């Protein structure tokens, strides 16, 4: 797959363009933790991977939580006395507090202000606000626009309803040779925020499409669900099978200009933690590794102490630490094609390690085998890479005593896993390495 | 207790003033490893905590050592031919070599010089010298004063005696719910040196007074004894019970301007070592941690290989590394009220960890509990602290799987133990955490 | 031994001079992986230590390798049309590709160039080239000299032959009290390269001479063999006994101006790795420690996974990283007497640790013994060293609980092993320490 990504004319550019186009298609939809926004989103993703849709009825108990009512919004605006719409949900869906209750009232600006959220420090941006678990209505707008409003009375109208419906999520399992699973999940509940998390959904959808024809050792499960309550619902309905999850990645906010950030699982030393550290180190300068903390995305649920699953988080700029976070500036300009493609390449590289890591045994462990006689010295790749390949051979032969995996060896040799794995394949063909 | 320290008008200032006053009361006494100086010192400390006095007869065998004779000194001076006293024990008790033998002789300055100790590199200071285990007489004076003495004959008189008496030490046990003990000890043998160690005695005496009415889980043993021989004597007489000591601190030189220094126990990873590192890190910028070394104060004896007790040393500027060390400049001006109070606060914070550290278990370990529904988000403390308290809740819920203690969690969360412990109490009240 | 090195007038200078003289005697010989060059070399070394010579016939199978034919060279030159010898093996034996096949042909310069090796980036140096496992003939010369050759035809003559003979190596075992062995080996196949590896051979030969009369606990095996094939041959013939090897050092390139570099064994934490790190740290500022890698000298074979012996590499400037490496500039000027002597001193210091390291037990483990009563304080060495010796005593008494060796204690005390060992001997004489 990563080989495929390197082939053809400008494939990284093509991949980036395809990803950005998908982000752009997902971006305008007004998602929430329930409702048609999620369904329309999953319908788009279904073009890339065959999604099984789940509808979980309002009121269903999921651990300590209850599936909330479904939310439907038709329109929302603030109208001046002269009929001008000074705020309009139709223009930007961040203008309404997500999951807001309905209202239709005329009230003085002074009173209305208590229902309006702005960002005084970023006066031209609309903030993203939610009120999932408290009945409230509200609008969001730029501080500049609010300041420009003359005093007077305004009509505030939010035509929304909460009703007994269901929570929606989608999943897709690409079956491999074993039941061991790799979980790949992106939250699907944020409205028009391009990086958070159209980027994560797009990268996972295209990844699945590229893996579709491939024979893999592990099975790959893709989950697109609303943040927190969606993950909790998925875990409640799949508790009996979570032991199959060998590795997991939450993917969110992977399109901005920042270098990748990997946040370790609660275990801290799970294989996925080592794998991501390795891949980031060799593939992306400036990559950041962070220890687990219980604040963040859905890794919070997967890494709760009852589950303690080996699930980490891949993002670029860490959430909450870039100025566009949770504002209208998280738009299609923030998300860059090459950054989306780079994130996809990272996950594909991690999957290569997951698929190919194994323990081998040197069949001639006493002294070095005579490589020159076998034509192996310099036989691999071009001249420029010959020295590197020779070193990879020496490392593999020296370390393959049955106790060390290819990843162990790549780490000790400080070489990319791909180089070690490709060289291992050559030495296996020569009979110098066999499965341990 | 630490809460009490924060209450009332300027309590840290009051504590500092009280400590400095006690140091000032202890400072003028001429202590030695035996004799009335120690007894007068213990009588003063007894006003703060009910001390049991022990008199161990001269000649008693204590491991490889023998309790030495008691020392009594009445007066000591050097008199010029014209009757002027050029050195006088009555002016400063450092003027006589501590534990000096008696002398009364007229001798030329040239010969007398062999019995006079000065500090040529610190010419205005009187050095502190002892001769415990070798029969010698001697004086200490400033190099400047010695240089100013005209040649000629002088009368050197030390009216002192060594006799079969006893070695004196005092101790006090504040009984807690268990027999497990915390040992807190300060050496009580140095004459007029304010930091070394009137400071340590004063801090421990006031600490005991503040703990007197308190119900504690562990028992707290305070020991005031002469350095080395006193600790050895205590250990010899209490060898059968040292297994009760779960944590220990030697407290010495805690009043100077330096940041605190904690020297680890021989074990290096004893709970007291982790606790002091935690407390210093969160309470005092610039604090120093040092590994155990067999040179120092009475931790040498407690950490001898036969005992290997979990006993560390708390000081400020490390002994031997500040210019006033073991000179007449270690006086009441060197010791600062706020530094004494800060040392007391550190020990009290360590005691809070000792008392409150425990393992809890999250009763809803699968996914996060819904905190909002319980009114817990932001419910703790003011707005400014809400985010911190929320993080403390998330860390506690995530980590409380029965294997990690509150200190473990505070360390992993990089938050002060007090914050974690206070938040744990809230979650226990809600039934979300229970004893593991 | 190291004491002996410090005695007498300028002994380090004398040692250095003796080592350099031996390097100078070995330097002119044209060694290869087989042939008389090795035999003449071993004959010289035999004057220092009684070498057992081994002749292993051509064609002998040694693991994956075969002992190659013997190589004999009589003369080699390139002659211009006017009879001038423009390149002459008699002038410098690097002029011929080592192990080159024979040739006698007249050919145009353009064609001859394909058989001539130069170093364009170091135009005045002759490179060192070999062709052991491929039948080729060739010359090496300075790039400058080649550039100066006028076009035309030249006679290239190499009067050499390969024939069924044998591979030669020499070894010497200095028997100690036990069968446990220390392996010390230097490769003996490079022609006129002074640092690589006349230096290693000279240092080991003189070391053996100095150890000859000494009673040791372990046995010391010195091996001088051609690189790679020689080590493989030795291992193939001694496979049944390699378990006796407790510590091993490959010694190569120890005469240049660089600080010592120790490359750890494959195990990384073998005793020899700790010992060399300790010795280098205390004996040589600027010393470098490097982790094992499978590229290098004969440690590659000793550390192959089937053997995994505790064998490290001692060199000065790491091979391949100094400009003179494998060129005619690796000559007698590159190798310095004091650097050779320093390398010898390092190995001798390591041997002191190997010989003297042991676990002791404090016979008075409860509190400190009263050292003053025994006259031990300040009793050791001069005044300047008294404090250091006192600390060594305190460390030894504190740490000697039967679980820690003298090296463990030296490491924890951060003091040279020699100081700890000398102090331990004093405490053993006093009965304060006994074998654990």
- CA quadruple A151, A155, A159, A162: dihedral sign: positive
The pLDDT value given to residue A386 = 81
A155 vs A161: CA distance, rounded Å: 18
pLDDT class of C171 with cuts at 50, 70, 90: very high
> A195 with A281, same domain?
yes
Inspect the interface and report whether the beta carbons of B305 and C362 lie closer than 8 Å.
yes
Phi, psi values for residue B208, rounded to 5°: -60, -40
Choose among C133, C134, C307: nearest Cβ to A366: C307
C126 vs C107: CA distance, rounded Å: 22
Per-residue pLDDT tens over the stretch C347-357: 999 999 999 99
Write out the H or E segment, with its range, that includes residue A263: strand A261-263
Give yes or no for a contact between A254 and A340, defined as CB atoms under 8 angstroms apart.
yes
A55 contact C CB<8A: no
β-pairing, B181-187 vs B245-251, is parallel
Domain that holds residue A409: 359-435
CATH assignment at residue C111 = 3.50.30.90
Inspect the interface and report whether the beta carbons of B64 and C370 lie closer than 8 Å.
yes
Tokens standing for residue B92: 């400063």
Choose among C365, C370, C372: nearest Cβ to B305: C365
C137 vs C332: CA distance, rounded Å: 28
> A257 with A289, same domain?
yes
How many independent structural domains does chain A possess? 3
Beta partners for residue A153, in sequence order: A108
The pLDDT value given to residue A1 = 37
C242 vs C235: CA distance, rounded Å: 8
Q: Is A282 left (phi over 0), alpha (psi -120 to 50) or beta?
A: alpha
> C224 with C313, same domain?
yes
> B55 with B84, same domain?
no
Mutate: best of B359, B361, B365, B367, partner A, most A CBs <10 A: B367
Inspect the interface and report whether the beta carbons of C365 and B236 lie closer than 8 Å.
no
Contact list in A for residue B408 (CB cut-off 8 A) is none
CATH assignment at residue B394 = 1.10.10.10
Tokens standing for residue C426: 């004093």
- Our CA-based measurement puts residue A413 at a distance from the nearest CA of chain C, in whole angstroms, of 8
pLDDT class of C387 with cuts at 50, 70, 90: confident
What Å distances lie between residue A85 and A74, A96, A251, B227, CA to CA?
16, 14, 37, 84
Residue C64, marked binder:
no
> Which residue from A103, A95, A102 is spatially nearest to A146, judged by alpha carbons?
A95
Give helix B337-356 / helix B417-429 axis angle, nearest 10°.
40
A130 vs B48: CA distance, rounded Å: 58
The pLDDT value given to residue C5 = 42
CATH assignment at residue C16 = 3.40.630.10
- Our CA-based measurement puts residue C391 at a distance from the nearest CA of chain B, in whole angstroms, of 7
CA count, 13 A, side-chain hemisphere, C187: 31
Contact list in B for residue A62 (CB cut-off 8 A) is 367
Contact list in C for residue B236 (CB cut-off 8 A) is 366-367
> B150 with B186, same domain?
no
> B311 with B175, same domain?
yes
Q: Which residue has the tokens 């007229």?
A: B106
Counting as contact any 3 or more CB pairs under 8 A, the partners of C are: A, B
C40 vs C20: CA distance, rounded Å: 18
> B322 with B297, same domain?
yes
> B243 with B351, same domain?
yes
Last residue of a domain, one of A322, A356, A390: A356
Share above pLDDT 70 across residues of chain C, in percent, rounded to a whole number = 96
Residues lower than pLDDT 70 in chain A:
1-10, 378-384
Per-residue pLDDT tens over the stretch B55-111: 999 999 999 999 999 999 999 999 999 999 999 999 999 999 999 999 999 999 999
Residue A196, marked binder:
yes
What Å distances lie between residue C221 and B181, C162, C224, C236, CA to CA?
57, 31, 10, 16
Contact list in B for residue A133 (CB cut-off 8 A) is 370, 372-373
Last residue of a domain, one of A163, A186, A220: A163
Mutate: best of B61, B62, B63, B64, partner C, most C CBs <10 A: B64
Residue B408, marked binder:
no
Q: If you measure CA to CA, which chain B residue comes closest to C387?
A: B295
Render B287-322 in DSSP notation, one character per residue: -EEE---SSSSTHHHHTSTTT---EEEEESSPTTSS
A295 contact B CB<8A: yes
- Burial (CB < 10 A; 0-12, 13-18, 19+), residue B121, is exposed
B304 contact C CB<8A: yes
Q: Could you give the 3-state DSSP secondary structure of residue C185?
A: strand
> C220 with C231, same domain?
yes
Reading chain B (436 residues) residue by residue, the pLDDT tens digits are 344 444 444 588 999 999 999 999 999 999 999 999 999 999 999 999 999 999 999 999 999 999 999 999 999 999 999 999 999 999 999 999 999 999 999 999 999 999 999 999 999 999 999 999 889 999 999 999 999 999 999 999 999 999 999 999 999 999 999 999 999 999 999 999 999 999 999 999 999 999 998 999 999 999 999 999 999 999 999 999 999 999 999 999 999 999 999 999 999 999 999 999 999 999 998 999 999 999 999 999 999 999 999 999 999 999 999 999 999 999 999 999 999 999 999 999 999 999 999 999 999 999 999 998 898 876 444 455 788 889 999 999 999 999 999 999 999 999 999 999 999 999 999 999 999 9
Mutate: best of A366, A402, A411, A413, partner C, most C CBs <10 A: A366
Give yes or no for a contact between A420 and A374, defined as CB atoms under 8 angstroms apart.
no
> C305 with C429, same domain?
no
Q: Could you give the 3-state DSSP secondary structure of residue A321?
A: coil
> B213 with B335, same domain?
yes
- Our CA-based measurement puts residue A269 at a distance from the nearest CA of chain B, in whole angstroms, of 15
Last residue of a domain, one of C130, C163, C196: C163
> A318 with A201, same domain?
yes
B383 vs B362: CA distance, rounded Å: 26
Inspect the interface and report whether the beta carbons of C373 and B133 lie closer than 8 Å.
yes
């Amino acid at each position: 797959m990563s080989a495929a990504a390197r082939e053809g004319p400008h494939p990284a550019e093509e991949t980036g363009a395809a990803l950005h186009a998908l982000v752009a298609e997902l971006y305008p939809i007004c998602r929430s933790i329930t409702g048609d926004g999620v369904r329309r989103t999953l319908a788009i993703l279904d073009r890339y991977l065959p999604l099984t849709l789940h509808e979980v009825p309002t009121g269903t108990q999921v651990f300590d939580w209850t599936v909330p009512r479904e939310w439907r919004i038709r329109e929302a605006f603030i109208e001046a006395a002269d009929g001008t719409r000074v705020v309009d949900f139709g223009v930007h869906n961040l203008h309404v507090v997500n999951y807001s209750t309905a209202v239709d009232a005329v009230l003085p600006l002074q009173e209305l202000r208590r229902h309006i959220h702005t960002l005084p420090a970023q006066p031209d941006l609309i903030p993203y606000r939610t009120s999932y678990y408290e009945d409230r209505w509200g609008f969001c707008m730029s501080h500049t626009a609010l300041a420009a409003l003359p005093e007077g009375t305004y009509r505030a109208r939010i035509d929304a309803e909460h009703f007994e419906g269901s929570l929606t999520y989608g999943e897709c399992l690409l079956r491999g040779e074993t039941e061991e699973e790799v979980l790949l999940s992106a939250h699907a509940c944020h409205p028009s925020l391009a990086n958070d998390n159209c980027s994560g959904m797009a990268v996972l959808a295209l990844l699945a499409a590229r893996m579709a024809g491939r024979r893999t050792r592990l099975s790959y499960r893709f989950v697109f669900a609303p943040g927190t309550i969606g993950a909790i619902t998925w875990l409640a309905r799949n508790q009996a099978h979570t032991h199959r999850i060998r590795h997991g990645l939450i993917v969110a906010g992977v399109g901005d200009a920042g270098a990748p950030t990997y946040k370790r699982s609660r275990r801290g030393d799970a294989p996925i933690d080592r794998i991501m550290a390795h891949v980031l180190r060799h593939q992306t300068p400036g990559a950041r590794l962070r220890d687990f903390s219980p604040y963040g995305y859905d890794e919070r649920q997967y890494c709760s102490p009852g589950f303690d699953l080996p699930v980490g988080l891949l993002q670029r700029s860490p959430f909450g630490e870039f100025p566009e976070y949770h504002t209208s500036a998280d738009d299609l300009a923030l998300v860059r094609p090459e950054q989306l493609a780079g994130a996809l390449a990272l996950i594909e590289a991690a999957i290569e390690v997951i698929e190919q890591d194994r323990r081998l045994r040197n069949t001639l462990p006493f002294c070095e085998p005579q490589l020159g006689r076998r034509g192996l010295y310099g036989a691999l790749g071009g001249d420029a890479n010959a020295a590197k390949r020779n070193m990879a051979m020496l490392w593999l032969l020296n370390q393959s005593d049955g106790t060390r995996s290819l990843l162990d060896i790549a780490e000790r040799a400080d070489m990319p896993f791909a180089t070690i794995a490709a060289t291992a394949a050559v030495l296996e063909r020569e009979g110098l390495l066999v499965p341990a």
